[in-house]
Structure 1
Amino acid sequence: MGSIGEQYRGRLAGKNAIITGAAGGIGLETTILFLREGASVLMTDISDAALAKAVAKAKELAPHMPGKVDTMRCDVSKESDVQAIVEHLDSWGGVDVMFNNAGIMHGDDDDAIATPEKIWDLTQNINVKGVWFGSKHAILSLRKHKKSRASIINTASVVALVGSATPQLAYTASKGAVLAMTRELAIVHAKEGFRFNSLCPAPLNTPLLQDWLGDDREKRMRREIHFPTGRFGEAIELAQAALFLASDESSFVNGTDFVVDGGMTKAYVTPQGPATLPPANLAR
């Protein structure tokens, strides 16, 4: 069996995609996978420097791709920035896939008493208004270019479904709003051929998480115990889910809360034991 690119090449052939929060994590892995599948991708993020590193990595890991790749700085909490990235694709023929992936979970986000108002507002502006702006301008672009089929994917979280035992109220509330907004958008625009789905990841194995866990095995196990698989998710596993939602293979999937969590939200109790390694075919 070949590489991921060899297995799936062509599933997004001819499609133009925008990915926000593309400089790392889910966004970067999705960019690489989309490029390998034939899409043209506009990578956007808040940092020009991070984008420059990310696009170089994407080109390295997805060489000889048939589509184009470009970058553009975007603060998704500013409508003018979001409008600009969507209109950037006018010369490509308009957007076909909009992945509203950018979001934050601030270190000062806490419970209802301790969360500062400015952190609440910042979180809602990025996580909720950013998705609204992305969806709004994607719809306008689709109508402008007279498209009758499109996929808009919004990153939510499992905490919008089950809540978080560790207080992060602004983040949890924002992701609940993303779920509700996505469902309504899916119903309102279904007859236009525009599909809206939420992607709900569990905690992922990212450098940020690993730095936070450090060498504290007890701290790590307190979190791994929630996973029936005994391990955190990997960004590539979310990218695979985003690929399915972006492709025509999911043409009858609309308004879903697409949960990718290793069974975490379905488990009442989980067995203790060593973490399992991710399947070998997840490697790039």
Structure 2
Amino acid sequence: MGKLDGKVALITGGSRGMGAAHARLMASEGAKVVITDVLDDEGHALADEIGGTYHHLDVTDENAWASVVADVHANVGPIGVLINNAGIVGFSPIATASTDEWNRVIGINLTGTFFGMRAVVESMTSAGGGVIINISSTAGLQGYSNLSAYVASKWGVRGLTKSAALDLGQHGIRVVSIHPGPIKTPMTDGFGDEMTAQQAIPRFGLPEEVAAMALFIAADATYTTGTEFVIDGGATVGAALQPPQ
């Protein structure tokens, strides 16, 4: 018997990276997994692999959100778990950051998360409740240079999570945020071990480790809402400096 038997879990950005890890683990625990993404070939292949379904979804399109959620509710079942995982990063110092890049990052990372949360409330409420897991970042806990839009978006996700938890608790819906540090995904390709060398756990995390935390939140952390779950190898604790020789 799986921890999520019969529950419908919708995952954005689910075709690869952390999203794919969430999809595989939740399917293995009995969930009816719905993968959404704009990477259609990869999404369809993963859905076939895990026995789930795939929908093309641009998370910045609120009408597309309404259509996908309505289709899932009617044909798969009421949504019990939403993982707002879709996200992008863009590097530029604030002095030269373009308005288009700002709007793109905020649109996908923050507004897309808002659209998703709003879209599933009716479906979750009809099922007696559910859980929304918003993927933020350590960039939602501290600042990083050259990442103004990304940091703003991830702090926004953190705050949105808290406000929504207060709004939705009366409907039996829990809302939490996960704050990953450096995780081995396509987003961190090109970064070397120097990125994690001063962490308490000096390595990149794995998508499967983040997925395990999401499963715990969805299945076991039933008295938790509006809070942060940090999975960062100690990156936000401080630097593990070596004494001079």
CA distance in 2, matches of 1:123, 1:209: 16
Are residue 149 (structure 1) and residue 129 (structure 2) matched?
A: yes
Please, which of 217, 224, 239 is the counterpart of residue 245 of structure 1?
A: 217
Shift of residue 149, structure 1, vs aligned partner: 2.3
What are the ranges of 5 or more consecutive residues in structure 1 without an aligned counterpart?
A: 1-8, 60-67, 214-219, 273-284
Give the aligned partner of residue 226 of structure 2. Answer: 255
Shift of residue 207, structure 1, vs aligned partner: 4.5
CA distance in 1, matches of 2:52, 2:2: 16
Deviant stretches of 4+, over 6 Å: none
Give the aligned partner of residue 37 of structure 2. Answer: 45
Please, which of 87, 99, 105 is the counterpart of residue 70 of structure 2?
A: 87
Are residue 104 (structure 1) and residue 88 (structure 2) matched?
A: yes
Give the aligned partner of residue 11 of structure 1. Answer: 3
> Where in structure 2 are the equivalents of 1:156-195 lying within 5 Å?
156-164=136-144, 166-195=145-174
Answer yes or no: is the 8 Å Cα contact 2:84–2:134 preserved in 1: yes
Answer yes or no: is the 8 Å Cα contact 2:185–2:207 preserved in 1: yes
Answer yes or no: is the 8 Å Cα contact 2:193–2:203 preserved in 1: no
Are residue 135 (structure 1) and residue 106 (structure 2) matched?
A: no
Give the aligned partner of residue 59 of structure 2. Answer: 76
1:173-216 deviation per Cα after TM superposition (whole angstroms, max 9, x unaligned): 00010000010000111121100000110011224534x13xxx
CA distance in 2, matches of 1:155, 1:85: 20
Are residue 228 (structure 1) and residue 200 (structure 2) matched?
A: yes
Q: Secondary structure at the match of 2:133?
A: strand
What are the ranges of 5 or more consecutive residues in structure 2 without an aligned counterpart?
A: none
Aligned pairs, number:
241
CA distance in 2, matches of 1:123, 1:140: 27
CA distance in 2, matches of 1:207, 1:92: 30
The sequence identity of aligned pairs, in percent, is 31
Answer yes or no: is the 8 Å Cα contact 2:44–2:53 preserved in 1: no
Answer yes or no: is the 8 Å Cα contact 1:16–1:41 preserved in 2: yes
